[in-house]
Amino acid sequence: MADDLITLVTTDHRELQRLFDMMKSDRSSRPLALPLAVAMLEAHSEAEEDRVYPAVAREAGEKAEAEHAAEEHHEAESLGKHLLEMDWESAEFDRALEQWIGAVEHHMEEEENDILPSLSQAVGPERLRELGLEFATRRSRKLVGMPLKAAGGTGSRSQQPATGETRAELYEKARELGVEGRSSMNKEELAEKVHEAEGS
């Protein structure tokens, strides 16, 4: 499997779809599949809002689309959490499940048909790979509390800065420090801005 952003996001979408289909066709799978789908969607959405949508807004110039997509995430998250509070064998659950799945499917379609192709056109394959690793590491941090070890740090395409930190780690620090424009910075620029912000 390729590790560019488009492939990773689309693969995650297919996995969510698989859980949705399972819950629709087999009620007994719901107690296992529902928390998985809710947690996956939350980690997926946070990683996109944190790592992907800033690039969609700044690098692809699609600010309104990025904002709209983030709103859809929030709507889907609250529908998903509401399901966790319901009796999964009830008719009410069936209706709410259908509504949730419909909202998420609509969002995934927009992302795959409009947002990701715009980003893909605006940035090169190298940047898509970098964004893919940032997305995956942020998603991992949310899902299991740990980033991916390899993210942003291996291969000839990225140099380690003097601090030995990966771009993903520096990005995380920049985010915590509120460094503006961090999405479009390379590792060296991030290291410099983080250093400046920590010193101030």
For Fe ion, the closer of residues 48 and 65 by Cβ is 48
Least separation, in Å, of the C-beta of 52 and Fe ion? Answer: 8
**Contact by Cβ (8 Å): 42, 77:** yes
For Fe ion, the closer of residues 28 and 113 by Cβ is 113
For Fe ion, the closer of residues 74 and 95 by Cβ is 74
Q: Write out the residues near Fe ion by the rule CB under 5 A.
A: 48
Least separation, in Å, of the C-beta of 69 and Fe ion? Answer: 6
For Fe ion, the closer of residues 4 and 48 by Cβ is 48
Least separation, in Å, of the C-beta of 189 and Fe ion? Answer: 27
Q: Which residue is nearest to Fe ion (CB)?
A: 48
